[in-house]
Amino acid sequence: MELLRRGKATVNDLAGALGITDNAVRTHLTSLERDLIVRAAGQRGGTRRPEVLYELTPEAEQLFPKAYSTLFSLLLESVAARLPSGEVEEALREVGKKVASTHPPSLPRASLRERTEAALNLLTELGGLAELREEDEGLLICGYSCPLADAVAHDPRVCTLAEALLSDVIGAPVQERCDREAKPRCTFKVG
């Protein structure tokens, strides 16, 4: 995978770089293709016949560490040092609304539950893991993996960003009720 991050490569390119047989490389590529991490991406003329070029899929790129959470936390810390608390929260809400605007609701006439399920799909796209629960008090979005967890650990106001995003995508009021203990657990009441 590290070699394919540098660019497209053939089985022979990979075998030579890794010092293993081309059959061993094919075995690994077959597994990676099945897992949607690698895909065929054209051909390059070979000495006898064209060779298939392989590349990482866009989904595979998400598997590599990113500095986003660290940079976001540091940016938020810098903004919070310059602005009053209310303005920081308003800025976070504005960012949430901007993210929501890049994912317009695909189900404008759908039920509240269907729109909330669409919002769950968006959370998954953004790197989270959440489920919808129906309780006496109404619909709850319960998260198990928050894509903003690192930033929330530094500044709990980050949850207002997610609250605004969900509210805009769902088209209904959303109230944040997150548990910010050792490993943050997101909870949002819908409606």
pLDDT at 105: 62
What is the total residue count of the chain? 191
Q: Is 99 helix (H, G, I), strand (E, B) or coil?
A: helix
Q: Which residue positions in the chain have pLDDT lower than 70?
A: 65-66, 104-108, 182-184
pLDDT at 186: 85
Contact 89, 157 (CB under 8 A): yes
- Name beta bridge partners: 138: 135
Check residue 2 and give left, alpha or beta (phi > 0: left; psi -120 to 50: alpha).
alpha
**φ, ψ for residue 181 (rounded to 5)?**
-70, -160
pLDDT at 126: 85
pLDDT at 108: 66
In angstroms, the first-to-last Cα distance of the chain is: 44
Tell me the pTM. Answer: 0.66
